[in-house]
Structure 1
Amino acid sequence: MAAAHDGHPEYVGFVGEEAWWTEPRPTEGGRRTLVRRRADGTEESVLDAPWNVRSRVVEYGGQPWAGAERDGEPLVVFVNFADQRLYRYEEGGEPRPLTPVSPVGGGLRWADPLLRLDRDEVWCVLEEFTGDGPTDVRRVLAAVPLDGSAARDRDAVRELTGARHRFVTGPRLSPDGSRAAWLAWDHPRMPWDGTELIVADVTGDGTLAEPRTVAGGPEESVAQADWAADGTLVYAGDSTGWWNLYAVGQEGGARPLCTREEEFGGPLWKIGWRWFAPLDSGLIAVVHGRGATALGILDPETGEVVDAAGPWTEFAPALATRGSRVLGIGASPRSAYEVVELDARTGHARVIGAAHDDPVDPAYYPEPQIRTFHGPAGREIHAHVYPPHNPDHLAPGDELPPYVIWAHGGPTGRAPLVLDLAIAYFTSRGIGVAEVNYGGSTGYGREYRDRLREQWGVVDVEDCAAVALALADEGTADRARLAIRGGSAGGWTAAASLATTDVYACGTVLYPILDLTGWGSGETHDFESRYLETLVGPLDQVPGRYAERSPAEHADRITAPFLLLQGLDDVICPPAQSERFLAKLEGRPVPHAYIAFEGEGHGFRRADTMVRVLEAELSLYAQVFVLDPPGVPTLELAK
């Protein structure tokens, strides 16, 4: 059940009066489909398998579709994952390609499309590989003709900008169409370090003239920008240490709209994420908060925010507006992510899509606790603690439960407080879970996320250990039965924790970074190829630090059993990292298992993969913690 319900709706939008969004299909090979909600309230998947609406721009992807109504019928463009081409879809017909295939490197990729029906074009981000290497790539804004003339002719794609910047987001057009705005940044910065907000005039022939930077810079992150109905440019920038909203008028100069010690933006991992969306009335729909996020309506004249009433305690960075209607994606500890519509006039919010339906009795769900712990030097550490819970069983009165510390990925990210059936899978079997938003996590201001600067492998490891030991010291967890698990950057933290501490009895490491030197010298994709310069330091200046912190260099220190899980198609944390790590373990009596999955990339999406992952992980804990879960295949541990 956890595998079948893995993933959630992601990119919302309006096509005419209808709400559309993307939605995962774990049981259909992990593809993502486009879902349409008709006027009568019925939902339908617009595209059958094998269509997969997902972009690979910067590998993490971004907004993969856009739609509009033409002559009373929907016209939609979308990116298909298999070939990364942009397609045109109209009701009753088959999707038709709009862009060509390139045999060079990773080919041509597209994201964050904007339909320009007045020009019969799609304006979007073009990522074009110029060679076979992962960093042989350029990114520009481009215009793709809607008539299909570029399907076999790269020259028919009109470039709107030069490749002056390494990274760009899709353009946003002012209401009168006279100006376009987008974000740009360059290596070695990540978008949460510093970005530029660029504005250009749109000429009569559809070109962008006189681009100029109006906000942001190397030390200020602009997470998003969009136009208000009166032609004011609104953006989320963190010059105060928090992503707050500002307005830039025709005359220039930034005016704060709402100054609070909370976030109205976030880390731009995917091109096109939206934390705010202006309404025709001049109000602004916002996803905001400190830690957890809410959906609210901001009055930019007064700075007041009125939050939507409802059970949701977390909203994803996905918003769309039409008239007074706002689409968002909300969840809570008792419900998975669902598509929510808020009426900005009445304040009424309701679920209109992907409605949560309990696959099991909610009595089996864990009851999370929002906790703040303290680490070295008394620094605060935010965490969510999920005690074991099963209404059919009671633990022995004299026995403390085992706990697994979950380290989230990113590491510039955050674990949201939402229903996760993978967590319930363990808590219902007597194993507690603690999700740690260690120093470096977002949602708590720039100072908190900057704790990880040049301290990756130190602060994250210390914070996870501090939470684990605090749970043991207070009598919540069994000190002898603590484990750690994480994927991607969380996999790094898990492996580094096993190599540098004696806190954990075992660990689960999913699609991890294990060798900093290899990862930082050409082994990963372009987007994160210079990420380690802020997380660890420049490789040419501190090479010893790269070796000192890498679990692959210290596999001989690991004595605790572990499970290593890897996607063979992973280009972000490639299998070579795991294979080198395992080679260092040869001849050492450390119980471990390695499972590699064909057809899986960075992050597992197929239901059968998730079943295998959860059962293997539970079997590891069962063997180490001396448990006997029924019906779970035994994981063979090599020694």
Structure 2
Amino acid sequence: MNATRESSAKAEQPGFWTSSMSAAQAVAAASDYADLVCDEQRLLWIEFHPEDGRSLIHEWTEAGQRCLTPLGYSARSRVYEYGGGALCLASGFLCFVNEDDQQIYVQGLQDLGCRALTQRGDCRYGALLNDAMRARLIALEECHTARAVEHRLVAISYTGEREVITEGADFYNSPCLSPDCLHLAWIEWDRPHLPWTQTRLMSAVLNERGQVVSKKSISSVQSQASQPEAFQQPQFDSSGDLLCLTDRSGYWLPWRVRDDGGLESVPSQPADHAPAPWQLNPRHILALPDDSLALSWMEGGYGHLALRHTIGGEEQRLAHGYQRFRSLASNGRWLYCVAGSALCSAAILHIDLLTHALQIIRAVPATLPAEEVSQPQRLLYRSGRGETAHGYFYPSSNRNQASPAPPPLLIFTHGGPTSATYAVLDNRIQYWTQRGFAVADLNYRGSVGFGRAYRHRLRGQWGVVDVEDVLAAVDHLVDAGRVDAGNIFIRGSSAGGYTTLCSLVAAGDRFRAAASLYGVSDPLRLRINTHKFEADYIDWLIGDPADVPERYVQRSPLEQAAEISTPVIFFQGLQDGVVLPEQTERMVKALKEQGVPVKCLTFAEERHGFRAPGTLASVLEEELAFYQCWMQHA
């Protein structure tokens, strides 16, 4: 493929539109909120600050807001590499995981002084839970030894004494206490299972000292479940009944544990009430004192939030206009959550449980006025085997630019791959639509939010099913006349980078150019180098290389580099411990040897998933310039 380099390209051609929204502005609005916790007076959360890459704890009370994290600290867990549950609130103080050393620190709410509660340099912590009755924390401990990486649930007193609660499973998540603090529940699973394929719901009786007297696996009780199921998000209601989400019916729905250990369903919509639990202590449902649940769910690609009575099923919907909800918390009077909409990437909502009045406590500021935002349109289309695939279509949008010509199309392939994209404001997408690109943000088969069967379509089919969906989306939009068939581009990061590169193998010269951000190009190498949490993931996605070695040749962009003719720009962090830099280096070299135009930019201080604002802005600018270089002019 030869580039068309016309210096006199018309400014009004889509793809070359100018915009007041710079790359720096697009990434400056990349703040986010997580780990909401509250008591009767206050709400705390962790807020990512893109300007310096720190994650800081903020507090809200009716008197105002303040940041609690002193200089030199950042609250972020790296357990399982993806973290979560890095903050909990006790009476008069808080506890958090410090990003640099992964130890737990105690901080006062008045003097704000910090002191280390743990000093185990070979361990990381997350999933923090306060056990006020015993003046201690319960936490997930990840211990890195020369022999192995081990996980266990531990108790750590407010003075630093440590005691093991339970161990022996490969992984743990979401510990929770009953109101009387005499029962503890959690999720655990063993290799080769993944937290979205098969887990166990565990329940233990504790003595007054907090030691386990007895424990049982709820999932081992014979019931209507006829296949493996994935439990998540256990919690006790005010009467001491244990609730959870499980996908035994095909969706992650709320269930109640009966006295005999069996499960009974709780009234709910037939839809996923949570995404895949990549992080610790997710909270998408929440038991409230009046026999009701606050819960969120995905329906047709859009999120909903409601109060629903657990017996009668009466439902009251909340927070209209928002499409994604997470990190629910409540003190019985107010409900808090992180929400997103087509006009706001993230906001912390305060909802009165009596009046349902809504207040925005904090929100990521908008970069564009509402009338300029390209809003997501639901994208449904037929793909392989006649199955339906999902996504969102964003038309080009710029009030100062217009063109009768169909716009160029940029395909977004999300990472994970067992993850999803949502119908909430993403300034990266707006950066492109402002410049005349249409964007198709795909939830290819294998994405979460559409039930277990859809989520499991990637099992053994990674690099096949997702690629089918990419190419079918292109055909669907071209056939409908919504995009320029001669100017199709594709980008993806991490697992999305793999789907992008595999799409180039399958598509011939269908794409004008592509971008891979720390993308997987050699799945076999990734399998060897990856961390414990994902050690069996590649086998689930492709197969055991001992049984199906040919798949790792057929589905390796590196091995199939001779089939790629599309120009590619690569972005790679040199500190990346997931997709090692040498993997990208080998892919770049293989394409150059085939005569494919390639550009590669590396960033010395970046890991897997770029965080520095300068890096993020440079990526957008360089990617745009690369696409424009290869744009077919009208």
By how many angstroms is 1:334 displaced?
1.2
Question: Is structure 2 residue 569 aligned with structure 1 residue 563?
Answer: yes
Q: Distance in 1 between matches of 2:117 and 2:268?
A: 43
Q: For 1:142-541, what aligned pairs fall within 5 Å after superposition?
A: 142-148=154-160, 156-162=161-167, 164-215=168-219, 219-290=228-299, 291-316=301-326, 318-353=327-362, 355-395=363-403, 397=404, 399-502=405-508, 503-520=510-527, 522-541=528-547
By how many angstroms is 1:211 displaced?
1.7
Could you tell me which amino acid in structure 2 is paired with residue 394 of structure 1? A
| Equivalent position of 1:5 in the other structure | 29
| Equivalent position of 2:62 in the other structure | 39
Secondary structure of 1:550 counterpart: coil
Contact kept in structure 1, 2:177 and 2:185, CA below 8 Å: yes
Q: Distance in 2 between matches of 1:470 and 1:49?
A: 51
Question: Is structure 2 residue 145 aligned with structure 1 residue 130?
Answer: yes
| Equivalent position of 1:584 in the other structure | 590
Secondary structure of 2:133 counterpart: coil
**1:49/1:469 CA distance change after superposition, 3 Å:** farther
Could you tell me which amino acid in structure 2 is paired with residue 405 of structure 1? I
Contact kept in structure 2, 1:247 and 1:256, CA below 8 Å: yes
Q: Distance in 2 between matches of 1:490 and 1:310?
A: 31
Contact kept in structure 2, 1:83 and 1:101, CA below 8 Å: no
Contact kept in structure 2, 1:439 and 1:463, CA below 8 Å: yes
By how many angstroms is 1:76 displaced?
0.6
Question: Aligned to 2:631, which of 619, 625, 631?
Answer: 625
By how many angstroms is 1:356 displaced?
4.3
Question: Is structure 2 residue 3 aligned with structure 1 residue 17?
Answer: no
Q: Distance in 2 between matches of 1:627 and 1:59?
A: 44
Q: Distance in 2 between matches of 1:23 and 1:314?
A: 18
| Equivalent position of 1:83 in the other structure | 101
| Equivalent position of 2:8 in the other structure | none
RMSD (Å) for aligned C-alpha atoms: 1.7
Which structure has more relative contact order (CA 8 Å, sep 6+)? It is: 2
By how many angstroms is 1:474 displaced?
1.3
Report runs of 4+ in structure 1 exceeding 3 Å deviation: none
Secondary structure of 2:526 counterpart: helix
Could you tell me which amino acid in structure 2 is paired with residue 118 of structure 1? M
Contact kept in structure 1, 2:487 and 2:632, CA below 8 Å: no
By how many angstroms is 1:33 displaced?
0.7
Contact kept in structure 2, 1:310 and 1:349, CA below 8 Å: no
Secondary structure of 2:215 counterpart: strand
TM-score by length of 1: 0.91
Could you tell me which amino acid in structure 2 is paired with residue 94 of structure 1? G
**1:215/1:349 CA distance change after superposition, 3 Å:** farther
Q: Distance in 2 between matches of 1:495 and 1:48?
A: 43
TM-score by length of 2: 0.92
Secondary structure of 2:93 counterpart: strand
By how many angstroms is 1:372 displaced?
0.5
By how many angstroms is 1:95 displaced?
1.2
By how many angstroms is 1:626 displaced?
5.1
Q: Distance in 2 between matches of 1:259 and 1:215?
A: 21
| Equivalent position of 1:636 in the other structure | none
Could you tell me which amino acid in structure 2 is paired with residue 89 of structure 1? Q
Q: Distance in 2 between matches of 1:7 and 1:580?
A: 34
Q: Distance in 1 between matches of 2:37 and 2:209?
A: 28
Q: Distance in 1 between matches of 2:268 and 2:295?
A: 13
Contact kept in structure 1, 2:521 and 2:587, CA below 8 Å: yes
1:446-489 Cα shifts (integer Å, max 9, x gaps): 11111111010000011011101211111111111101111111
| Equivalent position of 2:13 in the other structure | none
Q: For 1:71-110, what aligned pairs fall within 5 Å after superposition?
A: 74-90=92-108, 91-102=110-121, 107-110=122-125
Could you tell me which amino acid in structure 2 is paired with residue 446 of structure 1? R
1:97-121 Cα shifts (integer Å, max 9, x gaps): 111143xxxx210001112233221
Contact kept in structure 2, 1:257 and 1:301, CA below 8 Å: yes
| Equivalent position of 2:74 in the other structure | 52
By how many angstroms is 1:16 displaced?
4.1
Q: Distance in 1 between matches of 2:580 and 2:83?
A: 18
Secondary structure of 1:118 counterpart: helix
By how many angstroms is 1:337 displaced?
0.7
Q: Distance in 1 between matches of 2:39 and 2:519?
A: 39
Contact kept in structure 1, 2:174 and 2:233, CA below 8 Å: no
Q: Distance in 1 between matches of 2:133 and 2:268?
A: 38
By how many angstroms is 1:516 displaced?
1.3
Q: Distance in 2 between matches of 1:568 and 1:49?
A: 27
Q: Distance in 2 between matches of 1:244 and 1:212?
A: 22
Contact kept in structure 2, 1:364 and 1:424, CA below 8 Å: no
Contact kept in structure 2, 1:141 and 1:170, CA below 8 Å: no
By how many angstroms is 1:87 displaced?
0.5
Contact kept in structure 2, 1:36 and 1:45, CA below 8 Å: yes
619-628 vs 321-330, greater mean Cα deviation:
619-628
Q: Distance in 2 between matches of 1:277 and 1:347?
A: 16
Contact kept in structure 1, 2:410 and 2:491, CA below 8 Å: yes
Could you tell me which amino acid in structure 1 is paired with residue 243 of structure 2? V
Contact kept in structure 1, 2:572 and 2:581, CA below 8 Å: yes
Q: For 1:598-617, what aligned pairs fall within 5 Å after superposition?
A: 598-617=604-623
Could you tell me which amino acid in structure 1 is paired with residue 309 of structure 2? D
1:339-370 Cα shifts (integer Å, max 9, x gaps): 011222222222112x2432332332113211
Residue-pair matches, total: 602
Q: Distance in 2 between matches of 1:477 and 1:372?
A: 16
1:153-176 Cα shifts (integer Å, max 9, x gaps): xxx4211112x2100014201111
Contact kept in structure 1, 2:291 and 2:311, CA below 8 Å: no
Q: Distance in 2 between matches of 1:48 and 1:401?
A: 48
1:188-223 Cα shifts (integer Å, max 9, x gaps): 111110110000111122211222101379710112
Contact kept in structure 1, 2:29 and 2:366, CA below 8 Å: no
Question: Aligned to 2:130, which of 115, 126, 130?
Answer: 115
Unaligned runs of 5+ in 2: 1-24
**1:260/1:358 CA distance change after superposition, 3 Å:** closer
Q: Distance in 1 between matches of 2:184 and 2:202?
A: 8
Unaligned runs of 5+ in 1: 149-155, 629-639
Contact kept in structure 2, 1:63 and 1:113, CA below 8 Å: yes
Q: Distance in 1 between matches of 2:544 and 2:213?
A: 36
609-618 vs 360-369, greater mean Cα deviation:
360-369
1:265-302 Cα shifts (integer Å, max 9, x gaps): 22010011111111122211111122221121121011
Could you tell me which amino acid in structure 1 is paired with residue 614 of structure 2? D
